[in-house]
Structure 1
Amino acid sequence: MQAYTALLRNYQELNSNTINELQKEDEQPSPLEFMRHVARNRPFVGRGAARAWPAVRKWNIAYLKQRMAGRKVNIAVTPLGNADAPIEWIHDGGVVSKGGGGGGGGGGGYIFVQPSETIQPFSAFVDGLMNGMREGEPVAYAQSQNDNLRNEYLCLFPDVMSGIDWARIALQREPEAINLWIGTEKSTTALHKDNYENIYVQIIGQKHFVLLPPIEGPCVNETVMPQGVYEQVMGEGGQNVWNIKKLDQAEPIPVAIWDPDNPGQRASKYSALSCPLRVTLNPGDMLYLPSTWYHKVTQTCGPEGICVAVNYWLESPGHSYVQH
């Protein structure tokens, strides 16, 4: 523990506990400047860097519904807005329930839960978000993460950039995926990491990021757990209730169970050493989130009751992360 503590403290002394912001409003980095951030494996924010995008200037509910008229989309549905997240569970015969929610005495622990998915008209999905979804109703989120902006949302694609030029030139790669995210403050993203360089652009509302560098991996208390998926089943009174179906064919995966916003819970012996970085993106802001950085995301809606963002995933160049 002493060796890791010394290593982490040294890293934290050499690197700021705030996220670097480009010096000028609306500024975008050159490919060389971007590559310096990639080489150091450090994030940055460009305030207003996407302000001139048609999406930032034009998108509102009326416009989105008009462009998406007659189209159906894939929607993630969860009871609490906690898709792709670890929860405590009780296991009984292939079906699991949230800890304390029944399920018998068949064992327990943590399980990584994916959302239920449904196909519905885009207009109905957005109307539900705008109306705030009544208390107790499932939480809906457009978060398919499968290059959806170049597929099911293709009619909106001309309003964003087909690529981020300075990232494409620096990494010599086109985006692996370009994703659209539409939801409300009821949807949250648990602490996790991705193996892609991520350029995140806020369109409507705000996104609030909590970021941890890869060196803080021992702080997040990664725990190997099975995978499951939310499903609605018929309860004793004939009403629909939420259960979790364990995916027996899916390999167990390591998942962070420590939450930097609740530091006293699920902590490892190193969690107290963590120094999370925090940043809020406003419409038109752009965040570079390096590969393998842990991040947790919450959101605040815009005036019409929705939050919209776009992200670009690019394959990591496989560089070694050297700090200077």
Structure 2
Amino acid sequence: MADAASPTIAVAAIAEEALSAADLDRRLRGAREPFVVRGLAGDWPLVAAGREGPAAAARYLSARARDRKFTVSIGQPGGGERLFYDSAMGLNFRVAQGPLGPILDGIVANADKPDAPAVYLGSVDMAAYFDGLAEANRVPLGERAPLESIWIGGRTRVAAHNDVPDNLAVCAVGRRRFTLFPPDQFANLYLGPLEHTPAGRPVSMVDFRAPDFAAHPRFRDALRHARAVELEPGDALFIPSLWWHHVEALAPFNVLVNYWWRDAPAFLGKPEDALNHAILAIRDLPADDRATWRTLFDHYVFDNDGVAEHLPEEARGVLAPLTPETAGQIRAFLLRSLSR
């Protein structure tokens, strides 16, 4: 399969598996590689509405939307499909709010206009913003309690980024092309700022449609590890935790439903918070001090087997496997220290 970004470089296809909805829970346990299940959600009412056309899909969604304002990202007229930074590293889109019906009507009305702005509703909580939508269009995920989100828009491109939770993405309406990279390819993707991002996660600065290999030479190495797939309505893609994914919505009207979950206790902190704290506290120290702290992190965090065996069990505190109580102690300590 040739990647749209670089026709000269072959990109491997993501593995496809023939699974029923009943088999999915078992297959997801411990899964660390992406895979595709064709037609997993083919019987959804939302998929059926989309097969009738964009207007029917928009009516189906609008009829179930709650009476509240939806947040929508709107690009510049004629500004293309890419929701990204502008030349000054501001954002090339604005954020507005309004009822869902008129927003969707606008997407449908502008679908065939070449200068129409990119319009995108991202990560909308289905339970909070719709009545009955999640219940009628759901993939069974066993005992997992995922966040169920919906993504709606016209033709858009979202830069490569990653997410901490595992992710099952279901194409409900339109078509989506995903290009995935393993977690260790982050340096070859030339990430942008950590604190100023289009949607909360750092993104690749490479334009996949027109990569500048002079500015981003290591992107050629990333493409050698890339995997890609195009999803049709009803198809599902499993994206493991921390895998980078570039997402293109290819049809005039596109809807994706995704499920996020973590196979980790809810009381654990967010790893990205630890990264930001380490930048604040360690990165700009003298080199010798950083080397010492690297050793301490290895000892207490990454290679921590047996670090507290010399202590009585009742005295090990946070050096023992965390519990909700000891996790709360760390959180309270951090809150006090960061507020000084």
Tell me which interval the TM-score lies in, with the shorter structure as reference length: 0.5 to 0.7
Q: Are 2:14 and 1:19 aligned?
A: yes
What residue is the counterpart of 1:309 in the other structure?
256
Give unpaired runs (5+ residues) of structure 1.
Answer: 1-15, 90-110, 231-249, 319-324
Alignment-mate amino acid for residue 82 of structure 1: R
1: CA distance between counterparts of 2:203 and 2:46?
Answer: 34
Distance in 2 (alpha carbons) for counterparts of 1:313 and 1:229? 19
Cα deviation code 1:215-249 (max 9, x no counterpart) = 2222112243662789xxxxxxxxxxxxxxxxxxx
For the 8 Å contact 1:202–1:282, the answer to whether it is kept is yes
Equivalenced residues, count: 243
Distance in 2 (CA, whole Å) between partners of 1:66 and 1:117 is 23
Q: Call closer, same or farther: CA 1:255–1:66 in 2, change over 3 Å.
A: closer
Matches of residues 260-279 of structure 1 in structure 2 within 5 Å?
260-265=208-213, 267-274=215-222, 275=224, 276-279=226-229
Aligned counterpart for 2:58 among listed residues 58, 61, 74: 61
User: What is the alpha-carbon distance in structure 1 between the residues aligned to residue 101 and residue 185 of structure 2?
Assistant: 42
Q: Deviations over 1:232-279 (max 9, x none)?
A: xxxxxxxxxxxxxxxxxx9xx854212444333464443222222110
Q: Distance in 2 between the 1:63 and 1:30 partners?
A: 27
Identity of aligned residues (%): 24
Corresponding position of 2:133: 156
* Match in the other structure for 1:123: 101
Q: Which runs of 5+ in 2 are unaligned?
A: 1-10, 51-56, 266-340
**CA-atom RMSD in angstroms:** 3.1
Shift of 1:88: 3.2
Cα–Cα, structure 1 residues 221 and 269, in superposed 2: closer, same or farther, change >3 Å?
Answer: same
CA separation of 1:158 and 1:17: change in aligned 2, threshold 3 A: same
**Partners of 2:85 and 2:214 in 1: how far apart?**
11
Three-state SS of the structure 2 residue aligned to 1:199 is strand
- Relative to the length of structure 1, the TM-score reads 0.65
Residue identity in the other structure for 1:21:
E
Alignment of 1:1-324 (within 5 A): 17-23=12-18, 29-36=23-30, 38=31, 41-58=32-49, 60-68=57-65, 72-79=69-76, 80=79, 81-83=81-83, 85-89=84-88, 111=89, 113=91, 115-132=93-110, 134=113, 136-143=115-122, 145=123, 148-161=125-138, 164-165=140-141, 168-169=142-143, 173-175=144-146, 177-185=147-155, 187-224=156-193, 227=196, 254-265=202-213, 267-274=215-222, 275=224, 276-301=226-251, 305-317=252-264
1:44-101 superposed Cα distances (whole Å, 9 cap, x missing partner): 0000011122322345233333334865422222223433x34431xxxxxxxxxxxx
Output the TM-score relative to the length of structure 2. 0.62
Structure 1 pair 49–70 and aligned structure 2 pair: CA distance change class (3 A): same
1:96 aligned residue: none
Counterpart residue type for residue 216 of structure 1: Q
Deviation, structure 1 residue 112: 6.3
State how far apart, in whole Å, the 1-side matches of 2:194 and 2:256 are: 30
Between the aligned partners of 2:34 and 2:229, the Cα distance in structure 1 is 10
Q: Deviations over 1:297-316 (max 9, x none)?
A: 11122xxx411110111125
CA distance, structure 2, for counterparts of residue 225 and residue 312 of structure 1 = 24
- 2:140 partner letter: I
- Quick one: distance in 2 between partners of 1:266 and 1:192? 22
In the superposition, relative to structure 1, how do residues 58 and 255 fare at CA in structure 2: closer, same or farther (>3 Å)? closer
Amino acid at match of 2:72: I
- Per residue, is there more strand in 1 or in 2? 1
